[in-house]
Copies of this chain bind each other. A is one copy, B any other.
């Protein structure tokens, strides 16, 4: 359900149309360290939203690529030596250039070395961390309650964006619950990774990380709802969500945003 008053309270829903318009107008370049499964879909999601993706992992040049970008996504989906090295260089570059970056600690609940690396990265100050409940627990966030999320965001001085049936976004002070999206989003690989790339993109054009993260999740969620209306399964859905993102505009966002 749409709760315009609640949305008014934290401004998250209202910001989405304007943030989307800025993505289209500024075309930020978003550098993504992401897994091979997700690279193609993530690039197409960024392009459909009006951004420019770049994806190189080479230690020799990732520093230059990141320094010239407007944002960085670090997704731990395939956690190999090359990506770990690339991540260290890229995070150094992004911290030096004071650019926004996002951590998506995929599957940290499955393997301890990945969780240790994610914790180290959180200490470097990502603007936002996007993760699910199991990943949140594995990073020491505790069980996934609203209070734990707020506490974790405050302690780590970051925005936490917890994905679930309703996404919960908090910067430790404000909280937004985004109820947009569709069940088919869980049936397409890399959908979460692409959503995190969109969080990064919104951070590139909106300095308030809380608003940027909430706007990104409204944008991808509304695109998912529109796509579901034209799909007959997860294959056609994955195609339709790219079309829907490309076609998305302020009025559609306003009509469908469900932010509490």
Interface residues of A (CB under 8 A from B): 35-41, 43-44, 47-48, 53-58, 60-61, 64-65, 68, 77-82, 107, 110-114, 187-190, 231-236, 238-247
Tell me, rounded to whole Å, the shortest Cβ–Cβ distance linking A39 to chain B: 4
* Contact for A47 among B55, B60, B189, B232, CB less than 8 A: B189
From known contacts A37-B39, A44-B238, A243-B235, infer whether A78 and B61 are also in contact, taking CB-CB under 8 Å: no
A253 to B109, CA, bound (A): 37
* Contact for A189 among B44, B79, B236, B238, CB less than 8 A: B44
Contacting pair A79 B64 (CB below 8 A)? no
Q: Which B residue's beta carbon lies closest to that of A40?
A: B37
Contacting pair A233 B238 (CB below 8 A)? no
Tell me, rounded to whole Å, the shortest Cβ–Cβ distance linking A199 to chain B: 19
- Provide the residues of chain B in CB contact with A78, threshold 8 Å: 55-58
Contacting pair A60 B243 (CB below 8 A)? no
- Provide the residues of chain B in CB contact with A233, threshold 8 Å: 48, 242-247
Give 24 A-B contacts (CB < 8 Å), ordered by A residue.
A35-B55, A36-B36, A36-B39, A36-B55, A37-B39, A37-B43, A37-B55, A40-B41, A40-B190, A44-B234, A48-B187, A56-B80, A58-B80, A60-B111, A64-B111, A64-B112, A65-B107, A65-B110, A80-B82, A233-B242, A234-B243, A235-B238, A235-B242, A239-B239
Contacting pair B61 A234 (CB below 8 A)? no
- Provide the residues of chain B in CB contact with A241, threshold 8 Å: 235
Tell me, rounded to whole Å, the shortest Cβ–Cβ distance linking A62 to chain B: 9
